[in-house]
Amino acid sequence: MLLSILLVDDEEEVRKSIVKKIEWEKMGFQLAGMPKTGRKL
């Protein structure tokens, strides 16, 4: 079973960079989303 994570940062390039650098599924995670802010959650 994979754990879902939400990656939130106001800088799009930071979000993209983090997503590329981490092997999410290998670590047991799935990326549920990448919103710019947490305000609409």
- pLDDT per position as a tens digit, 3-22: 999 999 999 999 999 999 99
* Four-residue CA torsion sign, 40, 4, 20, 17: positive
pLDDT of residue 11: 92
pLDDT of residue 39: 77
CB-based contacts of 7, cutoff 8 Å, min separation 6: 15, 18, 19, 31, 33, 34
Q: How confident is the model at residue 41 (pLDDT cuts 50, 70, 90)?
A: low
